Amino acid sequence: MSMDRREFLKFIGLAGLGLGIGASATGWIFSRGLEASEYIPPPGALTAKRWAMVVDLSKFKTEEDYQRVIDACHKIHNVPDFGNPKDEIKWIWTDTYEHTFPGQENKFLPKEFEEKPFFLLCNHCDNAPCVRVCPTKATFKRSDGITMQDYHRCIGCRFCMAACPYGARSFNWRDPRPFIKEIDPTYPTRTKGVVEKCTYCVERLAKGLQPKCVEVSNGGLIFGDLADPNSEVRRILNTHFSLRRKAELGTGPSVFYIIGGEEDV
């Protein structure tokens, strides 16, 4: 059988078309397996455009006020206690005024600021440096402003720890499981070699609950939507002078401190 150029081109063209149709049909058949199923945001979840927290330090008076909040957070999130500061894992913790607001110290500040502990946690920055440096996008920004991490993707490079100006991130140098006093079976632990931090309790927001620290703070921590002018956080920020940690770095932290000198909020 002989074929001239015109017939050959026709034949090739048709064959190509047939292959294309066949391939896309096979793809469609295999991909449609569960087309009726879908993923939706949980009904009843708390949602916002921009989550933020206000720390009203006038509400924290005794050591116990701080410890209660720290323990509650660390307990439900299976945060280990290695018992030494080098391996320490922390989601929420305290430090002194001069470490919280470096450059803002002056020797004529009220005496109480010398001893008063300040609550520190991840600032969930608008322009989070940890997100920018993460090579695997394990640390990422959610649409509601929460800086979240995906431990499945974390390779333990610790770039985020170097990038974070707030020291909010901790690395698991060892398997944390043996160092968790009582494991909460409803929440995962972490594994050796991943970096962890506060998540603004995304798992609780999904169930319509406030973050645990807010819940047990007796009004000292206030959580809400910064983009909603009628929210509690906006109301407080409208009427009180507030500070953010190292705002001059341009990271846009979303944790606001009210450090006293005013009436109750």
Partner 1 sequence: MYDGGKIITGIIIFLLFATFPFYYNIGKANVKPDPKLDTPVIKQLAEKKCVESKEYMRANHMQILDDWRNMALREAKRTYRNAEGKLFEISLQNTCMKCHSNKNKFCDECHKYANVKPYCWDCHFVKEGGAAK
* Cβ count near 20 (within 10 Å): 10
Q: Is 206 in the site for partner 1 (CB under 8 A)?
A: yes
Q: Is 78 in the site for partner 1 (CB under 8 A)?
A: yes
Among candidate residues 181, 169, 220, 189, the one with its CA nearest the CA of residue 62: 220
CA distance 102 to 260: 18
Among candidate residues 103, 48, 53, 94, the one with its CA nearest the CA of residue 71: 94
Q: Is 36 in the site for partner 1 (CB under 8 A)?
A: yes
Name which of residues 38 to 67 contact partner 1 (CB under 8 A): 38-43, 45
The piece of 61-69, 87-95, 180-188, 223-231 that touches partner 1 (CB under 8 A) is 180-188
Q: Is 210 in the site for partner 1 (CB under 8 A)?
A: no
Q: Is 151 in the site for partner 1 (CB under 8 A)?
A: yes
Size of the site for partner 1 (CB under 8 A): 32
Q: Which of 118, 144, 258, 259 binds partner 1 (CB under 8 A)?
A: 144
Q: Is 182 in the site for partner 1 (CB under 8 A)?
A: no
Q: Is 186 in the site for partner 1 (CB under 8 A)?
A: yes
Q: Is 29 in the site for partner 1 (CB under 8 A)?
A: no
Q: How far is the CB of 45 from partner 1 (least distance, A)?
A: 8
Q: Is 189 in the site for partner 1 (CB under 8 A)?
A: yes
The per-residue DSSP string of 49-92 comes to SSEEEEEEGGG--SHHHHHHHHHHHHHHTT----SSTTT---SE
How far the first Cα of the chain sits from its last, in Å, is: 94
Among candidate residues 244, 263, 246, 265, the one with its CA nearest the CA of residue 254: 244
Q: Note whether 160 and 134 are within 8 A (CB).
A: yes
CA distance 199 to 78: 13
Q: Is 31 in the site for partner 1 (CB under 8 A)?
A: no
Residues that bind partner 1 (CB under 8 A): 33-34, 36-43, 45, 78, 140, 142-144, 148, 150-152, 177, 183, 185-192, 202, 206
